[in-house]
Structure 1
Amino acid sequence: MDEPISAAERYPTKYWHQLADGRIQCDLCPRDCKLHEGQRGACFVRGRAGDAMVLTTYGRSSGFCVDPIEKKPLNQFYPGSSVLSFGTAGCNLACKFCQNWDISKSRSFDKLLDQASPEAIARYAEKHGCKSVAFTYNDPVIFAEYAMDVADACHARDIKTVAVTAGYIHAQPRRDFFAKMDAANVDLKAFTDEFYVKQTGSHLQPVLETLRYLKHETDVWLELTTLLIPGLNDSSQEISAMSEWIVKELGTDVPLHFSAFHPDYKLNDIPSTPAETLIQARKIALEAGLQYVYTGNVHNLEGDTTYCPACGKAVIVRDWYEIKQYHLTPDGRCENCNTVIAGRYGQFTSQFGRQRIPVRIGATV
């Protein structure tokens, strides 16, 4: 039984249409949920109230935290800077391996302890020196209206915006949503539709369409993440096919992060990903032609480091989220050979480091 949608939760949305049989169809993502009065979509946070689709989590968050930008992960988007991160509840995918399942799979709003207006979020980020604000923890696609309003408030204060997303979204809302974003890390969860269907309840093709769109039709800085799960998406053949597709369709300069799975949610019977699997995956992707490939969730200095694709010198040496050496000019060129390193950069004077700071933000202050 769906939780009733109270009047206070009914924020109007744009992406829906009425069907001939009286139901309303949500047009935000490829799930195309068709709803009777009072029903919620698969994401749980978008539902029907009267003859309209509403968003029930506008201005409500599961929590705020100031992180290093490398934690998103974004390694080539203002390295060393801090980012104000937050999410809401719900998700439009059903990943059996979700590592934020307590938030993304929530069917109750008891997780939404913090309330904050878009202006309050932007003001906090500016006051505390955050270069950007990230919509993360759960997929911002499902709270698109809130995220886009926050983005407008941030841009008015010269704060950048970051979407951490699975990229499962229809074409028109995709244009509207990413027009407000400065950077995105997209989870490319696997490279077979079978994995997407069985493990996430979705499909691969819409994600590939989002990736092509971001790379070729926007100025959004794009990085990719693939969580490697033993026996499900970690074969050399699949990693090779995925890497070759990225090179062909997106280019060699899109950073790719391989991260390690640990047992969680509905996949508690699968062991954690060995570090060797990530190191081998990185080798395969580099051999396929990708210039920037990283390993995550394991301690691997080489896999954390950014290398110049021309001279091979380390231009950003990282240890976890801490930058140990930085050899880029303010406009993002290798100090050794002057080659442009893909990404977004500025004057590097200090770094936020590996700290993580939970914060509270009021609704209006």
Structure 2
Amino acid sequence: MHEARLYRKLEDNAVRCSLCAHRCTIRDGNAGVCGVRINRGGTLYAATFGKIVAEAVDPIEKKPLFHFLPGTLSYSLGTVGCNFRCEHCQNWTISQETLEAQSLRDLDPEQGVERALASGSASISWTYNEPAIWHEYPLAMGTSARKRGLGTVYVTNGYITEEGLREISSMLSAFRVDIKSFSDAFYRKVCGGRLQPVLDATALAKELGLHVETVTLVIPGQNDSMEEMEALIRWVLENLGPDTPMHFTRFHPDYRMTGVRPTEIRALEKIYERAKELGLHYPYLGNVGSHPYENTYCPTCGSLVIERSGYAVRMRGLKDHTCTTCGGRIEYVSEIR
């Protein structure tokens, strides 16, 4: 196995991992909360280095990322394990799987880069499960990918430490983060984590120059009050800025939360409209199917500039980051530098 980074040796062959906000103390023979960082004789190993369970070529909009290389493909990889235990997880068959998964297969970092280039993708995304716990593998693959002109994307729950994020930022282009709620009680009860480390990492990602988009799955009766949504939107405005895309997505019953009804579309529309009123330039709805609130509108004049239907994207009234109707600036990443 591959020795892990970002850990400290303790007495009695124990180690302390400093990659995610759990900062697990791991005894000899045990794994951290994630299940994939394992102590063997006082050395911490990244057990999923070079091992994948999911591989696909996805539209970048599926991540969802709407302001990062729009209309392009992203070579996407996932493995097993997660540092959260979200009761509503929609990828639980991967995230809650163990190292004994029969579907795990080997993929060298350089092979991954070659496959991404061969697929015609403009980026590589580490997704499907939590990429932070895979740290050493994305770091190796992403460093090579950036040298060859590819963008790099974390689809993450944001539960990464400052040390981990600063190290991975050397090769990372985009930080697509789930802010699952603006309530610490929700995080503790539903996810098995805390809110503040997610907010801290998200603000740091912005400070480090990464492209940041947020996603909040709106769950009826759990995190859907307008008071909570407004608090979240205001935090984004104050800490990330009004040009930050925020995605509010529709909940569908899954995993251990099958007794909760799907989100009403009108409830999502109200959140979108309130976000606009508060000054957010680019709110979006997700999991709603060809809704006009999936489109991008010029924040200056309201003209349609990017039209989306499913994962199909059409530039409308947009030229070189400029609205052709009013000349207003439209913020998005159009190329990797």
TM tier, shorter chain?
over 0.9
Q: How does 1:1-365 map to 2 (within 5 A)?
A: 10-20=1-11, 22-216=13-207, 218-329=208-319, 331-345=320-334
After the TM superposition, which segments of 4 or more aligned residues of structure 1 sit over 4 Å from their partners?
none
Task: Give the residue type in structure 2 aligned to 1:102.
Answer: T
SS at 1:86's partner residue? strand
Q: Which has the higher contact order (CA 8 A, sep 6+)?
A: 1
1:86 Cα shift? 0.9
**Using the alignment, how far apart are the partners of 1:318 and 1:220 within structure 2?**
24
After superposition, what is the alpha-carbon deviation per residue over 1:182-239, rounded to whole angstroms, capped at 9, x for unaligned? 11210000001000000001000011111111112x2211100000111000011100
**Using the alignment, how far apart are the partners of 1:112 and 1:335 within structure 2?**
49
Task: Give the residue type in structure 2 aligned to 1:223.
Answer: E
**Using the alignment, how far apart are the partners of 1:85 and 1:128 within structure 2?**
11
After superposition, what is the alpha-carbon deviation per residue over 1:41-83, rounded to whole angstroms, capped at 9, x for unaligned? 1101101011211011111111211111000000011110011
Checking the alignment, whether the CA contact within 8 Å between 2:243 and 2:281 is kept in structure 1 is yes
**Using the alignment, how far apart are the partners of 1:208 and 1:52 within structure 2?**
31
SS at 1:213's partner residue? helix
Checking the alignment, whether the CA contact within 8 Å between 2:75 and 2:119 is kept in structure 1 is no
SS at 1:110's partner residue? coil
Change (3 A) 1:111 1:339: farther
1:111 Cα shift? 5.0
Structure 2 equivalent of residue 353 of structure 1: none
Task: Give the residue type in structure 1 aligned to 2:23.
Answer: D
1:300 Cα shift? 4.4
After superposition, what is the alpha-carbon deviation per residue over 1:247-276, rounded to whole angstroms, capped at 9, x for unaligned? 111110100001111111111111111212
Task: Give the residue type in structure 1 aligned to 2:116.
Answer: A
1:332 Cα shift? 1.8
After superposition, what is the alpha-carbon deviation per residue over 1:131-188, rounded to whole angstroms, capped at 9, x for unaligned? 0010000011000100111101211211110100011011111100122111121000
Matched pairs, number? 336
**Using the alignment, how far apart are the partners of 1:108 and 1:51 within structure 2?**
20
**Using the alignment, how far apart are the partners of 2:104 and 2:29 within structure 1?**
24
Instruction: Say what the alpha-carbon RMSD is for the aligned residues.
Output: 1.5
Task: Give the residue type in structure 1 aligned to 2:210.
Answer: V
Q: TM-score, normalised on structure 1?
A: 0.89
**Using the alignment, how far apart are the partners of 2:139 and 2:42 within structure 1?**
24
Identity, in percent, stands at 38
**Structure 2, unaligned runs of 5 or more:** none
**Using the alignment, how far apart are the partners of 2:12 and 2:107 within structure 1?**
38
SS at 2:318's partner residue? coil
**Using the alignment, how far apart are the partners of 1:34 and 1:130 within structure 2?**
39
Q: TM-score, normalised on structure 2?
A: 0.96
Checking the alignment, whether the CA contact within 8 Å between 2:152 and 2:173 is kept in structure 1 is yes
After superposition, what is the alpha-carbon deviation per residue over 1:304-323, rounded to whole angstroms, capped at 9, x for unaligned? 10011111111001112112
